[in-house]
Structure 1
Amino acid sequence: MKTNRAKLSAMVKLRQHGALLASALCLGGMAQAQTTYNVAGLADFTGPFADIMKDMTGCRRAVLEWWSEEVGKAQGVALRIKDFDTRYDVAQVASLWPGIKSELNPVAVLGVGGADTNALQQRLPSDKVPLVQSTAGYGFAWKGDNWVFNARATYPHEAAAFYVWMQKKSGSLAPLKVGVISSEVSPAYVDIHKGVEKFARDNPKIIEVVETIYTEAQPTDLTQQVSRLVRKGATVLQVFNNTASVVATRRALQSLGKTNIPIVVSAHNGLLSSGKALGDLSQMDGNYEVYGMAMAAEGATPARDFFEKLRSQYKLQAAYNSACIMGMSQAMLTVRAVENVVKVKGAGGVTGEEVRAALVSTPMPTERSFGLLPNIKFNNDAPFPTSGTAVNIGTVEKGKYKLLEQNVPVPVLSKW
């Protein structure tokens, strides 16, 4: 009997000790717990930008993982992203959005481009969720009190900076003759060529748009159209659509024996991705890209070092190119805004409305983005920085990508 009582007493003490241990572990876990907030990722895995989407979405996801571990953990906050394939289609974005909002209740949305802005800019103010874009801005979204944010000025702003630079570089007082390859399949494409045409009308001594060519979403042969631009005297071709458009334009110039006429592209259809699509980067020799963020040049830079950290410590599987930098940039804007909200409101105070307020009120120095972006300061007048912005210009020489010019000033443009 005494032996049984002794055993029973030992078992009770063991259970009590286990309960105390479990309670201690639980409290310790609570001390380390992170409040998780959702971010909605809009993507294009099956549409015109499918070729760059793995790099872009992979890099933005890695930034959120890095921030949650190395910054958010100390603040008691984590961010989780879920991607949705919109095919870069306005109707598809609009159709998916109510379900996305209901499922995730996101504090921010990371978009791909103009299709997202066009579909959501009227809804977001009532939904109280900011959309942070990976691209340059759009003239059709140029208004105050916006819930869409672009870290870069509009595509026409960036193109205008390139043309001012290129004309000065030419040493001639004659305006550049620009042929524009565009399309009416996307509001963003239409906005770009309208903005550039307005810049040409306002600045006839800098550029003349000889013609704007309209193509399908992903053209395969533009020989006839490019030939018409060449006959009209075009000295540079602007292709800000997608990679397929760049490839078709370059092949047309090659077939016409006019490879001395350069193409200028943007970040989402940059030289590296276009060269890859052509089979060899040397196919893009003598062409240019322009945009207001870091470029994927060789050599150690803060942006490149940060990318390597994501690849080595956070299992990032992506190429270091303009698409990846776009993804990292929009994610960095978002996490820094959340970080600022938590400093003021605490771990439980993160909402879409507070994230938007932080974006508008708190400038982000370039150091805070590891050099991915220049100094960023938003205001309520436009969904993108309207002053003090600059672009970088890249090129390909003998099959090697090269950063050609840095911090080229962006001129002031009137609305179109």
Structure 2
Amino acid sequence: MRKIWVLMIVMALVLMVGRPAQALTEYNVTGSVDFTGPYAVVMPPIDEAGKAFFAWWNDEVGPKLGVKLNRKTYDTRYDPALTASLWPGILSGDKPLAHFGLGGPDVAALMKRLPQDKVPLIMSTGTYGFIWLPDTWVIQCRPTYVHESAGFFNWAHMNLIKDRPIRVAAISSKVSPAYVDGVRGFEEFAKATDWIELVGTEWVQMKPVSLLSEVQRLSKDKPDFFWNMNNTYQGVGIIKANKELGQSIPVVLSSHNGIAMSALATKDLKILEGNYDSCAYDPGIDLENPAAKIYMKYKEKLGLKYPWSLMSVQVAAMHLQAFRAIERAIKAVGPDKLTGEAVFNAFFSGPFTSEELLGLMPTQTFTHNAPFSEKDIKVKCTTVKDGKHVSVSPDWIPVPPVPKWVK
């Protein structure tokens, strides 16, 4: 009898091993990359992060749901005209569930046609006021840059300057409509907020040689902070002008021109001592973050080159947001009936908790009223203290109300 039982167990194991794996339904998710245009220098680490998180999802999540996601990228050179010309072929050839954008050119090229194409565009950048619109089919993982800045100033109001309005001086450029949009938004935020005062704005070139004169003029209005959301040339230019004038008025920056990116540009973290940045993502300086651990695992597995960084965070956050929506869509319509429309609808199925997003973002609650989550917006802010890049708080910082400035 015992021999019979042993034989039956062996036969069962043989059958289990010999059984073919369940076939996975394959879908394409496309994305814009730029290996030949203005962002070619920073594209390799961005591309590697995308490879890592697709590999993770296909290894650890997709098989349980009966789906495999194919990553397909197109070099759009960060050019709206090229993006627009490539899109019909992407749409008909790949039939993507979603498309990962790089920035403004994707929005400019695709936003008006996405509702008819029924493919959501997923963005990792901050939102501009002129796309704070309903039902755009653009999913922004971050609020506007003005919201992110408002979060920092809320922290400063609660911790640094509590007894009077915070005085802010802006430096921007009229070269880009997006930059002008940011200043207009900050003006409206200041008008609506009794503890913020915008004391002046200087308009400068996109890549100024020196900002000494502009910083000197604005300094006469005794600002507590300079504010710049544009690029590293301007942000670092303000810091250098401060030093030339023998003053230390802190500069508040965004993510793309903030502490990490400015340190990369200048190769000098110390020059950023006492300055700040603010973003609705984790800053990427905690290697114990679950997403960081995933990246490091697949960095080794895939033979990737670049370390976990803020650029990795931006890519990982956008991918996680899309993957979580795809997972909900699979549960709603089944693994063999997925469409871009099903994925789009899944974004509105309820909150995506910070835990689901592996701590890279606060909880996101999307509605049809805006491309970003308008509920309980929060940010994280960093600075350089004693030569080290650190968070100003371990917790997410709440963002105060910001009025809509583009009607």
Whether the 8 Å CA contact 2:364–2:375 is kept in 1: the answer is no
Match of 2:374 in 1: 386
Which segment drifts farther, 147-156 or 204-213?
A: 204-213
Aligned-pair Cα RMSD in Å: 2.4
Contact 1:267 1:323 in 2 (8 A): no
Query: Partners of 2:65 and 2:292 in 1: how far apart?
Result: 26
* Candidates 266, 275, 300, aligned match of 2:263: 275
Judge conservation of contact 2:56–2:294 (CA < 8 Å) in 1.
Answer: no
Q: Does 1:122 align with 2:112?
A: yes
Choose from 227, 244, 263 the match for 2:233.
244
Q: Distance in 2 between matches of 1:38 and 1:196?
A: 39
Confirm whether residue 288 of structure 1 aligns to residue 276 of structure 2.
yes
- The DSSP-based 3-state class of the residue aligned with 1:368 is coil
Distance 1:191 1:67 in 2: 37
Task: Map 1:141-156 to 2 at 5 A.
Answer: 141-156=131-146
Structure 1 residues 79-98: aligned runs within 5 Å: 79-98=69-88
- Which residue identity does 2:244 align to in structure 1? S
Partner amino acid, structure 2, of 1:352:
G
**CA shift digits 1:64-84 (9 cap, x unpaired):** 121011111232322222333
The alpha carbon displacement at 1:401 in A equals 0.8
**Per-residue deviation, residues 102-132 of structure 1 (Å, max 9, x unmatched):** 3422111111223322332111101111011
Report how far residue 90 of structure 1 moved: 3.5
1:143 to partner: Cα distance: 2.0
What is the DSSP-based 3-state SS (H/G/I as helix, E as strand, rest coil) of the residue aligned with 1:100? helix
**Structure 1: where are the runs of 5+ without partners?**
1-23
Name which of structure 1's ranges 74-83 and 146-155 shifts more when overlaid on structure 2: 74-83
The correspondence for 2:330, drawn from 342, 346, 356, is 342
1:304 to 292, 296, 299: 292
Q: Distance in 2 between matches of 1:261 and 1:49?
A: 31
Q: Is the 8 A contact 1:359 1:378 kept in 2?
A: yes
1:55-70 superposed matches below 5 A: 55-70=45-60
Matched, 1:415 2:407: no
Distance in 1, Cα, partners of 2:303 & 2:401: 42
Q: 1:108 aligns with which of 98, 109, 112?
A: 98
Query: Displacement, 1:232?
Result: 3.9
Letter of the 1:227 partner, please give it: Q
Q: CA deviation at 1:28?
A: 5.7
Q: Indicate if the aligned counterparts of 1:181 and 1:238 stay in contact, CA closer than 8 A.
A: yes
Residue type at the aligned position of 2:389: Y
Supply the distance in 1 between the matched residues of 2:79 and 2:180 (Cα, whole angstroms): 14
What's the counterpart of residue 41 of structure 1? 31
Cα deviation for residue 148 of structure 1 reads 0.6
Structure with max Cα Rg: 1
- 1:304 is matched by which residue type in structure 2? A
Return the alpha-carbon distance in structure 2 between the equivalents of residues 349 and 287 of structure 1.
50
Distance in 2 separating the partners of 1:214 and 1:255: 18
Q: Distance in 2 between matches of 1:270 and 1:59?
A: 20
Q: For 2:177 and 2:383, how far apart are their aligned partners in 1?
A: 28
| Residue number in structure 2 paired with 1:12 | none
Change (3 A) 1:286 1:46: farther
SS in 2 for 1:380: coil
Measured at CA, do residues 197 and 310 of structure 1 come closer, stay the same or move farther in structure 2, by a change above 3 Å? farther
* 1:268 partner amino acid: H
TM-score by length of 2: 0.87
The CA distance in 2 between the partners of 1:283 and 1:376, in whole Å, is 35
* Contact 2:166 2:197 survives alignment (8 Å): yes
Displacement of 1:88 in angstroms is 3.4
Say if 1:64 and 1:335, in contact at 8 Å, map to a contact too. no
Higher mean alpha-carbon deviation, 269-278 vs 80-89, is at: 80-89
Question: How many Å apart are 1:48 and its aligned residue?
Answer: 4.8
Distance 2:98 2:237 in 1: 36
Q: Amino acid of the residue matched to residue 61 of structure 2?
A: V
In the other structure, the counterpart of 2:218 is 229
Matched residue SS, 1:41: strand
Q: What is the total number of aligned residue pairs between the two structures?
A: 388
